[in-house]
């Protein structure tokens, strides 16, 4: 531990007895930033595929807009995680929101000039805000007690509900607000999202003090103060050494990929069946409610029943959701039900996987392993989103759901194998 790190540890360590109040204050700040971040992301992403189809003139390319966002989230999660590992959560979250605001502005410019490549670049930058939102759940876990860690994560995930549910429903007025400016209506939500991200960055910069990650390090035992284990390579090694950490990575990757792939193409499928923009907004709002509103329940179940049990619940919910959405046809109600259950399955997978990963790796390697987790889940989802557009264009939305369902098979097998490994008695010595 260097002299600078020792001074930082002393500065960030709370006074005796102050930790409960500090947990509450940090949680409050993260909740506010999540509401704003969720509002911004959901406002923009609601019509991303529609905007991409308008700018590109091709339905097969429409899935590339949400895919670019997911890819940007994945790629930018690496430098953001490295920044958090070195400097703490606050600078990483602030930078993520500001990059998201810049990306939103680029999307608006691209839509105005009709440049599809520039649109994809802006969508990638927009994804940085999603990366900041995802990393905030780990900030909540930094100071949480181990037996309440899943609930701490789920509370911050839940906070996104308020903004994320409202976001798709203000997409229409946001679109109308740019009428006469030479900007497509589908780009209006991105203009609003950029301003919201700036406010979120300001809240984190001013109020997230002391930094939760640096405080957790200051409270850690002396043997965990070494900076040698804080590189991304060390995070990879920590995950590779733990079967539970590997399961955690697969859980969040599969649940996120299935959700992103199906959700991103649902608006396109609904338009094929005569749905209006307002109806699409309601369906996506219901989906987002499923994602976030019940996350405290998932957190409580993960703390009480165990992370592996909730991982199994995630697999079951996702399977039901894909069946409902894939067989809905012209039934908008069944599509809405499928998307709602899809959100529930995602919530169970994200909360249980995030808590399991935090449990399974040493404190010194957690930030790096968490960044690796977000890189993995968003890279997988980016590939899934790209494939989703092609599957719908060449086959159908039903085939997309069936393809996503196939991803659940290896996750279920790995969860069963990990559970069996835990129950297997250790060999006797000598």
Q: Is residue 429 part of a domain?
A: no
Q: Which residues of the chain have pLDDT under 70?
A: 1-16, 221-231, 422-430
Reported pTM: 0.80
Q: How far is 94 from 197, CA to CA, in rounded Å? A: 9
Q: How far is 195 from 98, CA to CA, in rounded Å? A: 10
Written as six digits, the tokens of 60 are 């097969």
Which residue's entry shows tokens 């199994």?
Answer: 312
Q: Is residue 235 part of a domain?
A: yes
Residue ranges in 208-274 assigned as alpha helix (H)? 212-219, 232-240, 243-272
The answer to whether the beta carbons of residues 258 and 347 sit under 8 Å apart is no
Query: What sign does the CA torsion over 194, 78, 375, 30 have?
Result: negative
Q: Is residue 27 part of a domain?
A: yes
Burial class (CB within 10 angstroms; exposed 0-12, middle 13-18, buried 19+) of 297: middle
* Number of domains the chain is built from: 1
Q: What's the confidence (pLDDT) of residue 430? A: 32
Q: What is the DSSP string of 47-61?
A: THHHHHHHHHS-STT
- pLDDT per residue as tens digits for the range 203-238: 999 999 899 998 988 887 665 555 555 667 778 888
Q: What's the confidence (pLDDT) of residue 379? A: 85
Q: Is residue 1 part of a domain?
A: no
Query: What sign does the CA torsion over 176, 180, 184, 188 have?
Result: negative
Torsion angles phi and psi, residue 14, rounded to 5? -75, 160
Cα angle vertex 257, ends 412, 184, to 5°?
160
Q: Is residue 41 part of a domain?
A: yes
Q: Is residue 296 part of a domain?
A: yes
Q: Is residue 238 part of a domain?
A: yes
Q: How far is 188 from 194, CA to CA, in rounded Å? A: 10
The answer to whether the beta carbons of residues 346 and 292 sit under 8 Å apart is no
Centre a 10 Å sphere on the Cβ of residue 78 and count the other Cβ atoms it contains. 15
- pLDDT per residue as tens digits for the range 119-161: 999 999 999 998 998 899 899 889 888 888 999 999 988 887 7
Q: What's the confidence (pLDDT) of residue 335? A: 92
Residue 277 sits in which domain range?
8-216+225-421
Cα angle vertex 166, ends 22, 279, to 5°?
155
Which residue's entry shows tokens 């987790």?
Answer: 373
Q: Is residue 350 part of a domain?
A: yes
CATH number for the domain that contains residue 116: 1.20.1250.20
Residues in the chain: 430
């Amino acid at each position: 531990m260097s002299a600078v790190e020792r001074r930082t540890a002393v500065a960030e360590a709370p006074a005796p007895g102050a930790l409960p109040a500090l947990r509450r204050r940090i949680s409050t700040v993260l909740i506010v930033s999540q509401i704003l971040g969720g509002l911004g992301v959901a406002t923009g992403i609601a019509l991303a595929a529609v905007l991409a189809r308008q700018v590109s003139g091709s339905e097969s390319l429409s899935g590339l807009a949400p895919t670019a966002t997911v890819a940007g989230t994945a790629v930018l999660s690496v430098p953001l995680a490295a920044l958090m590992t070195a400097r703490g959560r606050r600078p990483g979250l602030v930078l993520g929101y500001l990059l998201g605001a810049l990306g939103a502005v680029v999307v608006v410019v691209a839509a105005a000039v009709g440049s599809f490549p520039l649109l994809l670049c802006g969508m990638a930058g927009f994804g940085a805000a999603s990366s900041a939102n995802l990393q905030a759940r780990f900030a909540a876990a930094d100071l949480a007690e181990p037996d309440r860690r899943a609930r701490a994560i789920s509370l911050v995930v839940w906070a996104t509900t308020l903004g994320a549910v409202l976001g798709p429903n203000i997409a229409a007025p946001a679109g109308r607000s740019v009428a006469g400016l030479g900007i497509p209506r589908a780009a209006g939500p991105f203009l609003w999202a950029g301003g919201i991200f700036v406010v979120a960055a300001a809240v984190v910069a001013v109020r997230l003090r002391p930094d939760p990650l640096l405080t957790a390090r200051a409270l850690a035992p002396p043997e965990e103060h070494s900076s040698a284990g804080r590189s991304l390579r060390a995070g990879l090694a920590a995950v590779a050494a733990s079967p539970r950490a590997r399961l955690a990575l697969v859980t969040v990757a599969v649940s996120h990929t299935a959700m992103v792939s199906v959700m991103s193409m649902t608006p396109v499928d609904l338009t094929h069946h005569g749905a209006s923009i307002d109806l699409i907004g309601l369906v996506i709002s219901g989906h987002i409610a499923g994602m976030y509103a019940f996350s405290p329940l998932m957190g409580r179940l993960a703390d009480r029943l165990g992370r592996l049990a909730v991982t199994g619940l995630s697999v079951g919910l996702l399977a039901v959701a894909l069946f409902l959405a894939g067989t809905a046809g012209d039934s908008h109600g069944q599509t809405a039900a499928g998307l709602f259950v899809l959100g529930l399955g995602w919530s169970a997978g994200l909360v249980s996987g995030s808590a399991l990963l935090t449990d399974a790796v040493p404190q010194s390697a957690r930030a790096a392993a968490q960044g690796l987790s977000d890189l993995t889940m968003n890279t997988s989802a980016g590939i899934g989103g790209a494939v989703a557009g092609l599957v719908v264009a060449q086959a159908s939305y039903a085939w997309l759901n069936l393809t996503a369902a196939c991803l659940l098979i290896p996750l279920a097998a790995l969860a069963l194998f990990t559970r069996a490994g835990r129950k297997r008695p250790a060999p006797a010595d000598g």
